[in-house]
């Protein structure tokens, strides 16, 4: 009995969400690295303009196309703007686009997928065929079409990226909900007086979160690439706004003539961000999965 | 010269919390043609011992000491290629879950051929004929046709026969049966065990039967080894183990096994056997089921799961509902607890017909709190994301609308009532043992003081000693709170301990009902007689009263 008591007091200490978060970080160095990189991204995104050494939009024709130096770490572009400052300032926009797009597709996809998985029947059949139709298009081309049709704005990039991602979330949630629909704890929840919607929202859906977190994190990177890709081909964000996709697109013209830094550094930032999100997935899953607590 | 000899075997596992000793130095001999039973509760190391013999330990598990010899071969030092030759041909194994042991996407006939061809007992041209012969040997009727079946097309008992056919295809000399009948119906269990016993005698094999069921081991094995915490606590002839257990733990196991002629208190340790509480007198009717039917639309026409059953439960009464899988007892209980709708029929609860209210809107019905259920699989019935406290408090928050503080206090009371240490309330389901989860499940079900409680095999997954404690808890709660029970089970012996009346179901119909003692001693229907005779009969049982006076 004393054994059980000491066990559970040890348990209580590690029980808090923060303690569990720290435990997950400690137990897996890769997760620790991923969260550190993520923290850097967030910090740069928030502080952006404050820590940039130069005005990202200020051109200086006298110092155009200078290679990296102590004054301009990432060199200057064809208008003499500081590439380092532009890369830093662009972080906020790129993060915002991808987070907003992923959040939107997460919410809409979870909603539709939960409904399809829990109630099934004709609703399930119709929703699934709609998702199949969306997935049948080449996704990037579909996104291009949506942005071209809705208008060339940042919001529309977010919507387009969200729409093409919805089927992936909906499918995943549908499968996770479906296997738990008849689970004992769902029935027990009904016996406790929960309506169907409560059972779904408070009992079944939260159990689908661990695999969703992996999807979210991989998807963040993918959404960022997608947004950058749209900007790269001239849709969405317009010059002179600093955005990694446009910067790579603009810089690409100068690679042939040897000014590699214009495209290289924004590309590196993009890669860093996508890599971070890809690493983050497993760690996020461990954090939202109570079975990892012991 | 014994066929198998284990000397001071030690097996350890590397886990996140350091090295765990699963088997701590056991010694065991199995002679030629001998059937030895290893009995123990979960975590006793009995399965690990058998896996160690086959050198099939999970990753992280190692044989850390001792000797294993099989007919002169040192199993501990043997090379992996030697082991591959031995497995299946010399030593074979029957696994716990036959469905999981078979490959779901291959025909069962092909799976039997695999082992035959692996050990060169058949060629490509003779394999089919040999496989059918092996299936006939385990008495699979119409083996030629079953050869082409996939595992999902066969019943649990039939799958186990296929697994036995695979194990015996190459005439091994030693058979290891690891809980060969867990999850099978009691009549199927008897058929499968009789088959194994016959085949063993016919072929002069030796066998190691691993089971948690002392009664089963005693009926089929000549010698029994009792294990606890990785050690052998007692060894001896079956009859002696039952008649005069020497070790306290064996005595506890023997006592905890439900059997004829004892009360529920006799399952406990002698010093815990308090007098049975006075149970409420059953008078006024509480639940009246009239002409209940349930028909599912199956792919090959309608399936009549429940066919026109009627019965009643009085206030404070405990009624047992007994039957094998597929008899409709689970369908009946989920209709009564209003999770499913009947096709037709009445459910009069305190005189009002509940069948008129669809199951989907019953969650908001004022009578929801009055009818509750304890689920069969305790693990599955808890949200893995909720602590025990949260799970017990859920009905209090939803139906009783208690404040946070009141809930906390009530959960504490409930934990005390079911004997769950308060310190465990903040654990997640995966951090609780089977017995603790059973208590949490009962606490949740009685949180709202229900009038009617359905217990769906609440002890099926528990060890016998834990089962004894949970059954006693249920008896005490009934006496204290005056709840009526509908106890759903496949085991007549367990039902008798808890119920005044018993209903026997078969194929969706009630075949027999009556006072439980009468049904048990003088069954009227042949099916009830079959059920009773299929339960393992321990050799001789000296009642605990007699032993206590010794």
Angle between helices B156-168 and B127-137 (to 10 degrees): 120
Q: Is the pLDDT score of A5 beyond 70?
A: no
Query: What is the rounded CA–CA span in Å between residue A257 and residue A262?
Result: 11
Does B428 sit within 8 Å of A293, measured CB to CB? yes
pLDDT score at B271: 79
**Gyration radius from chain B CA atoms:** 25
CA A170 to chain centre: 16
Query: What is the rounded CA–CA span in Å between residue B487 and residue B499?
Result: 7
Does B394 sit within 8 Å of A8, measured CB to CB? no
Neighboring chain B residues of A4 at a CB cutoff of 8 Å: 421, 423-424
**What does the block give as tokens for B51?**
């896996």
Q: Least CA distance to B442: which residue of chain A?
A: A188
**B395–A contact, CB cutoff 8 A:** yes
Q: Tell me if A183 is assigned to some domain.
A: yes
Q: How far apart are the first and last CA of chain A?
A: 19
Does B428 sit within 8 Å of A8, measured CB to CB? no
Shortest distance, CA A190 to any CA of chain B (angstroms): 6
Domain B285-549 class in CATH: alpha beta
Tokens 């860093």 label which residue? A272
Phi and psi, residue A282, nearest 5°: -60, -40
Q: Least CA distance to A192: which residue of chain B?
A: B395
Query: What is the rounded CA–CA span in Å between residue A49 and residue A44?
Result: 9
Of B156, B501, B153, B181, nearest to B322 (Cα)? B501
Shortest distance, CA B176 to any CA of chain A (angstroms): 34
Report B:410-439 residues touching A (Cβ under 8 A): 421, 423-424, 426-428, 430-431
pLDDT score at B408: 92
Residue bearing the bigger pLDDT, B547 or B442: B442
Q: Tell me if A27 is assigned to some domain.
A: no
The residues spanned by each domain of chain B are 285-549
Indicate the pLDDT class of residue B539, thresholds 50, 70 and 90: low
Averaged pLDDT, A115-138: 91
Complex ipTM:
0.79
Provide CB contacts within 8 A for A250, sequence distance 6+: A77, A78, A239, A262, A263
* DSSP structure class, residue B212: S
pLDDT averaged over every residue in chain B: 86
Q: Tell me if A192 is assigned to some domain.
A: yes
Neighboring chain B residues of A188 at a CB cutoff of 8 Å: 373, 375, 381-382, 391, 444
CATH of the domain at A248: 1.10.3720.10
Averaged pLDDT, B104-117: 90
Provide CB contacts within 8 A for B442, sequence distance 6+: B374, B418, B458, B470, B473, B474, B477
pLDDT score at B544: 42
Of B279, B310, B283, B256, nearest to B499 (Cα)? B279
**B331–A contact, CB cutoff 8 A:** no
Shortest distance, CA A148 to any CA of chain B (angstroms): 44
Does A11 sit within 8 Å of B363, measured CB to CB? no
Phi-psi region of B60 (alpha: psi -120 to 50; beta: other; left: phi over 0): left
Phi and psi, residue B131, nearest 5°: -65, -40
Query: What is the rounded CA–CA span in Å between residue A249 and residue B302?
Result: 65
Residue A181 contacts residue A204 (beta carbons within 8 Å): yes
Peptide bond into B208 cis (omega under 30): no
Averaged pLDDT, A166-191: 92
Mutate to test the interface with B, among A191, A194, A286, A287 (most CBs of B within 10 A): A191
Residue bearing the bigger pLDDT, B15 or B490: B490
Q: Is the pLDDT score of B121 beyond 90?
A: no
Structural domain span for residue A215 = 76-292
Element (H, E) at A128: helix A121-136
**Largest Cα span, chain B:** 75
**B384–A contact, CB cutoff 8 A:** yes
pLDDT score at A293: 62
Return the minimum-mean-pLDDT range out of A1-5, A127-131, B288-292, B366-370.
A1-5
Return the minimum-mean-pLDDT range out of A55-64, B202-211, B518-527.
A55-64
Q: Tell me if A69 is assigned to some domain.
A: no
Q: Tell me if A71 is assigned to some domain.
A: no
Residue B207 contacts residue B174 (beta carbons within 8 Å): yes
Provide CB contacts within 8 A for B90, sequence distance 6+: B70, B71, B172, B173, B174
Provide CB contacts within 8 A for A27, sequence distance 6+: none
Shortest distance, CA A172 to any CA of chain B (angstroms): 19
Neighboring chain A residues of B16 at a CB cutoff of 8 Å: 294
pLDDT score at A53: 80
In this predicted model, what pLDDT tens digit does every residue of B426-447 receive, in sequence order?
888 888 888 889 889 999 999 9
pLDDT score at B1: 61
Tokens 């039939």 label which residue? B158
Please count the residues of chain B.
550
Query: What is the rounded CA–CA span in Å between residue B397 and residue B406?
Result: 10
For B91-229, where are the alpha helices, taking DSSP H only?
98-101, 108-118, 127-137, 143-146, 156-168, 186-203, 214-220
Q: Is the pLDDT score of A29 beyond 90?
A: no
Q: Tell me if A184 is assigned to some domain.
A: yes
Q: Could you give the count of Cα atoms lying within 13 Å of B7 in the half-sphere of its Cβ?
A: 9
**What does the block give as tokens for B382?**
């808890």
Q: Which residues of chain A approach chain B closer than 8 Å at the C-beta?
A: 1, 4-5, 8-9, 11-12, 15, 183-185, 187-196, 198, 203, 206-207, 290-291, 293-294
Of B251, B271, B274, nearest to B263 (Cα)? B274
Averaged pLDDT, B205-231: 89
Report B:352-381 residues touching A (Cβ under 8 A): 360, 363-364, 368-369, 372-373, 375-377, 380-381
Q: Is the pLDDT score of B173 beyond 80?
A: yes
Query: What is the rounded CA–CA span in Å between residue A4 and residue A11?
Result: 10
Residue bearing the bigger pLDDT, B279 or A225: A225
Q: Tell me if A230 is assigned to some domain.
A: yes
In this predicted model, what pLDDT tens digit does every residue of A240-264 receive, in sequence order?
788 888 888 888 888 888 888 888 8
Sign of the Cα torsion B303, B529, B288, A195 reads negative
Provide CB contacts within 8 A for A18, sequence distance 6+: none
* DSSP structure class, residue A192: T
List, edge to edge, every strand of the sheet that includes B91-94: B91-94, B174-178, B206-211, B35-39, B223-228, B231-237
Residue bearing the bigger pLDDT, B301 or B372: B372
Q: Least CA distance to A193: which residue of chain B?
A: B363
b/e B423-453 (16+ beta carbons within 10 angstroms → b): bbbebbbebbebbbbbbbbbbbbbbbebbbb
Shortest distance, CA A261 to any CA of chain B (angstroms): 48
pLDDT score at A286: 81
Query: What is the rounded CA–CA span in Å between residue B253 and residue B39?
Result: 10
Domain count, chain A: 1
Does B364 sit within 8 Å of A193, measured CB to CB? yes
**B337–A contact, CB cutoff 8 A:** yes
**What does the block give as tokens for B300?**
């090959």
Return the minimum-mean-pLDDT range out of A6-10, A54-58, B307-311, B460-464.
A6-10
Q: Least CA distance to B425: which residue of chain A?
A: A8
Q: Tell me if A23 is assigned to some domain.
A: no
């Amino acid at each position: 009995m004393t054994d059980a008591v000491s066990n559970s007091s040890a348990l209580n200490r590690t029980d808090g969400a923060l303690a569990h978060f720290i435990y997950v970080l400690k137990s897996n160095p890769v997760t620790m690295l991923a969260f550190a990189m993520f923290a850097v991204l967030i910090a740069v995104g928030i502080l952006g303009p404050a820590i940039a050494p130069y005005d990202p939009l200020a051109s200086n024709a006298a110092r155009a196309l200078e290679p990296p130096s102590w004054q301009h770490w990432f060199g200057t572009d064809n208008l003499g703007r500081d590439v380092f400052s532009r890369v830093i300032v662009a972080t906020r926009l790129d993060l915002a686009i991808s987070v907003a797009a992923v959040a939107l597709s997460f919410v809409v996809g979870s909603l539709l997928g939960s409904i399809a998985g829990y109630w099934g029947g004709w609703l399930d059949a119709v929703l699934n065929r709609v998702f199949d139709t969306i997935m049948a298009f080449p996704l990037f081309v579909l996104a291009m079409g949506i942005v071209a049709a809705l208008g060339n704005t940042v919001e529309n990039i977010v919507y387009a990226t969200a729409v093409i991602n919805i089927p992936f979330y909906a499918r995943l949630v549908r499968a996770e909900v479906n296997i738990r629909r008849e689970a004992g704890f769902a029935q027990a929840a009904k016996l406790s007086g929960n309506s169907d919607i409560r059972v779904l929202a408070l009992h079944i859906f939260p159990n689908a979160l661990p695999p969703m977190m992996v999807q979210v994190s991989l998807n963040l990177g993918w959404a960022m690439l997608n947004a950058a890709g749209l900007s790269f081909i001239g849709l969405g964000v317009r010059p002179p706004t600093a955005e990694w996709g446009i910067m790579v697109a603009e810089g690409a013209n100068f690679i042939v003539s040897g000014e590699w830094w214009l495209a290289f550094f924004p590309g590196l930032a993009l890669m860093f961000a996508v890599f971070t999100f890809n690493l983050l997935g497993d760690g996020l899953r461990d954090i939202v999965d109570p079975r990892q607590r012991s | 010269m014994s066929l198998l000899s284990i000397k001071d075997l030690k097996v350890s596992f590397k886990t996140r919390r350091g090295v765990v000793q699963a088997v701590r130095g056991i010694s065991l001999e199995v002679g030629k043609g001998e059937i030895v039973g290893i009995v123990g509760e979960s975590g006793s190391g009995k399965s690990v011992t058998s896996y160690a013999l086959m050198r099939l330990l999970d990753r992280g598990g190692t044989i850390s000491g001792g000797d294993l010899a099989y007919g002169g071969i040192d199993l501990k030092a043997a090379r992996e290629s030697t082991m591959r030759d031995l497995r299946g041909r010399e030593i074979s194994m029957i696994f716990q879950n036959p469905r999981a042991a078979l490959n779901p996407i291959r025909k069962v006939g092909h799976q039997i051929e695999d082992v035959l061809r692996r050990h060169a007992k058949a060629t490509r041209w003779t394999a089919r004929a040999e496989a059918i012969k092996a299936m006939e040997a385990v008495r699979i009727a119409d083996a030629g046709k079953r050869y082409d079946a996939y595992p999902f097309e066969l019943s649990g008992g039939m799958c186990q026969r296929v697994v036995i056919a695979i194990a015996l295809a190459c005439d091994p000399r030693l058979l290891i049966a690891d809980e060969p009948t867990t999850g099978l119906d009691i009549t199927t269990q008897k058929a499968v065990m009789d088959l194994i016993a016959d085949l063993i005698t016919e072929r002069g094999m030796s066998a190691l039967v691993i089971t948690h069921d002392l009664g089963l081991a005693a009926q089929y094995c000549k010698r029994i080894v009792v294990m606890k915490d990785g050690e052998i606590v007692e060894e001896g002839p079956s009859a002696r183990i039952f008649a005069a257990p020497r070790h306290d733990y064996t005595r506890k196991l023997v006592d905890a096994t439900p059997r004829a002629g004892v009360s529920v208190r006799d399952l406990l340790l002698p010093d815990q056997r308090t007098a049975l509480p006075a149970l409420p007198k059953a008078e006024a009717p509480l639940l009246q089921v009239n002409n209940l039917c349930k028909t599912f639309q199956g792919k090959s026409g309608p399936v009549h799961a429940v066919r026109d059953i009627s019965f009643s439960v009085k206030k404070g009464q405990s009624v047992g509902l007994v039957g094998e899988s597929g008899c409709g007892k689970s369908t009946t209980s989920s209709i009564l607890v209003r999770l499913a709708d009947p096709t037709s029929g009445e459910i009069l609860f305190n005189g009002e017909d509940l069948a008129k209210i669809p199951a989907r809107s019953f969650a908001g019905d004022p009578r929801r709190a009055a009818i509750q259920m304890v689920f069969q699989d305790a693990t599955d019935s808890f949200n893995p994301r909720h602590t025990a406290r949260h799970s017990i408090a859920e009905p209090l928050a939803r139906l009783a609308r208690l404040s946070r503080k009141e809930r906390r206090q009530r959960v504490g009371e409930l934990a005390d009532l079911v004997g769950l240490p308060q310190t465990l309330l903040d654990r997640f389901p995966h951090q609780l043992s089977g017995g603790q989860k059973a208590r949490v499940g009962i606490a949740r079900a009685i949180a709202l003081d229900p009038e009617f409680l359905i217990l769906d095999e609440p002890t099926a997954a528990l060890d016998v000693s834990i089962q004894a404690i949970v059954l006693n808890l249920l008896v005490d709660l009934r006496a204290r709170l005056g709840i009526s029970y509908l106890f759903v089970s496949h085991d007549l012996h367990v039902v008798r301990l808890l119920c005044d009346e018993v209903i026997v179901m078969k194929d969706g119909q009630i075949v027999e009902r009556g006072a439980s003692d009468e049904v048990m001693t003088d069954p009227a229907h042949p099916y009830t007689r079959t059920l009773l005779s299929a339960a393992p009969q321990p050799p001789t049982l000296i009642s605990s009263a007699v032993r206590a006076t010794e």
